[in-house]
């Protein structure tokens, strides 16, 4: 495998942008956007949305019409992030217009303090369906499954959904294509920064008319704003379509509520993981790599937060942080890792797929989107918890060495020596 192939040039960021200067003013559309400052801006925004979502809007409308009065299961990743949570909620509200009743479910846990705050403060209707207690839920109630901000590869629920024979009705995502997926409607946009941007475009195109007097709409708009911000590094990596989506949401969202979500403090245990990542980091060729040892299932999100922090160091463009997450309830251990990069030409999806390869079923251990990626490596026979601290230490060292070796193979392509320190 040629190691230098992991750094492909990204597509031009402007590639999908229609030429706004040529867009004509259309008087009819102005009245739909009464709050905007300039009328020509209104028509331009509308045209922008039409250009980027066309022909998806009518297609989605038809799909929703076909499933009128049905029930759908919206499956989001095991550890849902604000982009997934808010986008799933927006889809649920859109589907309600078509008399489709949706349940938003995830199998893992809400780990990041901001996500817990988001769900609590907005009453976001997502539910945890743990694999252990799946029997409590009747899957035969659902005629379709909806994947938002994922393609089914990051949820433990998918094998059960497939087993129950629930067809995939809708997929809306911005991650790189994760392989063949049979779905009735798909809107996959790897060049788009946030799924919340896609859902906001749907709202703006009229699939659901937001009403600032409707409390649920205001909260959903606030959640979408948070989702959009968090997937664009607080808008610093946002493109024109994200700003336009944020501009639209700004008419409805509650800035105080968003502030309350963002003010949430980190727990002490998260701080400890960040401290460990700082202490253990090794910097090679502008990559900062840190293994943080064992951490509890509820603190899993400390890993991406540590990666977010390590990538801010001078002369570092990419950070990878990983650890062994153990779930005491389910007697399960798994290696979880996160990658963050500020290097535009580094494709996290490709990097992770090339570093870790596939399992025996041909499934990749992870993937990514622009600037961020993640991986999850099952520990198999070694993956059960053991109280013996010597044994636990030994096991960590084995995994730590193996992961470092795979990463360094890409980071120092010419350097075949393995560093075990």
* Contact positions with Mn ion (CB under 5 A) in 31-60: none
Q: Which residues pair with 334 in a beta bridge?
A: 325, 378
Residue 301 in contact with Mn ion, rule: CB under 5 A: no
DSSP annotation of 210: -
Smallest CA-to-CA distance from 280 within 289, 271, 269, 267 is with: 289
Distance set, CA 230 to CA 18, 91, 196 (Å):
25, 19, 10
- Scanning 34-111, the segments in alpha helix (DSSP H) are 39-53, 56-66, 82-96
CB of 246 to Mn ion, least distance (A): 15
173 binds Mn ion (CB under 5 A): no
In the complex, what is the shortest distance from the CB of residue 347 to Mn ion, in angstroms, rounded to a whole number? 16
| Look-up of token digits 């709409």 | 217
Residue 78 binding Mn ion, by CB under 5 A: no
Q: Does 83 bind Mn ion (CB under 5 A)?
A: yes
Distances (CA, A) of 352 to 174, 380, 399, 419: 17, 20, 16, 20
Shortest approach of Mn ion to residue 189 CB, angstroms?
Answer: 11
CA–CA separation, 360 and 64 (whole Å): 37
Length of the chain: 421
Could you give the string, one character per residue 205-244, with x where binding to Mn ion holds by CB under 5 A and - elsewhere? --------------------------x-------------
Report the side by side order of strands in the sheet with 168-173.
Answer: 126-128, 101-106, 71-75, 144-148, 168-173, 185-188
**280 vs 251: CA distance, rounded Å:** 45
Closer CB to Mn ion, 70 or 347, in the complex: 347
195/318 with CB nearer Mn ion = 195
| Secondary structure class of 147 (helix, strand, coil) | strand
Instruction: Please give the structure tokens belonging to residue 35.
Output: 């709050």
Candidates 11-19, 46-54, 194-202, 337-345: pick the segment binding Mn ion (CB under 5 A): 194-202
Count Cβ atoms within 10 A of the Cβ of residue 366 and give its class: 0-12 exposed, 13-18 middle, 19 or more buried.
buried
Residue nearer to Mn ion on the CB measure, 291 or 368: 368
135-154: which residues touch Mn ion (CB under 5 A)? 149
Neighbours of 209 (CB within 10 A): 11
Beta carbon nearer to Mn ion, 194 or 325: 194
Residue 79 CB, nearest distance to Mn ion (Å)?
Answer: 12
By CB under 5 A, how many residues form the interface with Mn ion?
Answer: 4
Residue 333 binding Mn ion, by CB under 5 A = no
Helix axes 240-249 and 215-231, enclosed angle (nearest 10):
160
Q: Give me the least distance between CB of 150 and Mn ion, in Å please.
A: 8
Nearer to Mn ion, 83 or 333 (CB): 83
Kindly indicate which of the ranges 12-20, 52-60, 80-88, 259-267 contains the residues binding Mn ion, using the contact rule CB under 5 A: 80-88
Among residues 70 and 350, whose Cβ is nearest to Mn ion? Answer: 350
Per CB under 5 A, which region of 23-31, 63-71, 81-89, 316-324 contacts Mn ion? 81-89
Nearest distance from C-beta of residue 90 to Mn ion, angstroms: 13
- For residue 241, the surrounding DSSP H or E stretch is helix 240-249
Q: How far apart are CA 222 and CA 216, in angstroms?
A: 10
With CB under 5 A as the contact rule, which of the stretches 77-85, 130-138, 289-297, 333-341 interacts with Mn ion? 77-85
Which tokens sit at 157?
């629920």
> Is the distance from CB of 376 to CB of 336 less than 8 angstroms?
yes
Of 246 and 410, CB closest to Mn ion = 246
CB of 307 to Mn ion, least distance (A): 16
Least separation in angstroms between CB 294 and Mn ion: 28
The mark string for 92-131 relative to Mn ion (x by CB under 5 A, - otherwise) is ----------------------------------------
CB closer to Mn ion out of 42 and 52: 52
Return d(Cα 77, Cα 152) in angstroms, integer.
Answer: 8
Nearest residue (CB) to Mn ion, 105 versus 194: 194
Q: Which residues bind Mn ion (CB under 5 A)?
A: 83, 149, 195, 231
């Amino acid at each position: 495998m040629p190691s230098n192939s992991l750094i492909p040039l990204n597509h031009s960021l402007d590639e999908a942008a229609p030429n706004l200067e040529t867009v004509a003013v259309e008087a009819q559309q102005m009245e739909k956007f009464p709050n905007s400052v300039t009328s020509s801006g209104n028509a331009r925004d509308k045209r922008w949305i039409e250009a980027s979502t066309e022909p998806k809007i009518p297609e989605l409308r038809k799909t929703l019409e076909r499933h009128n009065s049905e029930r759908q299961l919206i499956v989001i990743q095991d550890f849902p992030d604000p982009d997934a949570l808010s986008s799933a909620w927006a889809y649920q509200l859109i589907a309600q217009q078509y008399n489709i009743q949706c349940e938003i479910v995830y199998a893992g846990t809400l780990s990041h303090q901001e996500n817990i705050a988001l769900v609590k403060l907005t009453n976001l209707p997502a539910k945890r369906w743990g694999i252990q207690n799946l029997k409590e839920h009747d899957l035969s109630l659902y005629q379709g499954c909806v994947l938002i901000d994922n393609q089914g590869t990051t949820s433990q629920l998918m094998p059960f959904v497939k087993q129950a024979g629930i067809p995939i009705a809708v997929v809306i995502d911005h991650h790189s294509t994760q392989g063949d997926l049979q779905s009735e409607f798909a809107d996959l946009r790897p060049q788009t920064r946030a799924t919340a941007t896609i859902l906001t475009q749907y709202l703006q195109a009229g699939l659901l008319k937001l009403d600032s007097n409707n409390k649920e709409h205001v909260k959903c708009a606030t959640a979408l704003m948070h989702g959009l911000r968090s997937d664009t590094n607080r808008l610093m990596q946002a493109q024109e379509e994200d700003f336009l989506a944020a501009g639209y949401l700004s008419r409805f969202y509650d800035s105080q509520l968003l502030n309350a979500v963002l003010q949430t403090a980190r727990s002490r245990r998260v701080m400890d993981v960040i401290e460990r990542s700082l202490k253990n980091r090794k910097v090679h060729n502008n990559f900062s790599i840190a293994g943080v040892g064992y951490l509890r299932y509820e603190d899993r999100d400390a890993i991406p937060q540590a990666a977010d922090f390590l990538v801010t160091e001078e002369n570092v463009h990419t950070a990878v942080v990983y650890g062994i997450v153990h779930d005491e309830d389910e007697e399960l251990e798994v290696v979880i890792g996160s990658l963050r990069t500020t290097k535009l030409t580094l494709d996290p999806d490709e990097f992770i797929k090339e570093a870790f390869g596939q399992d025996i079923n041909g499934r990749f251990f992870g993937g990514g989107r622009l600037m961020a990626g993640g991986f999850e490596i099952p520990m198999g026979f070694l993956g059960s918890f053991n109280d013996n601290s010597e044994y636990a230490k030994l096991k960590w060292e084995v995994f730590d060495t193996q992961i470092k070796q795979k990463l360094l193979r890409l980071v120092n392509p010419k350097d075949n020596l393995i560093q075990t320190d």
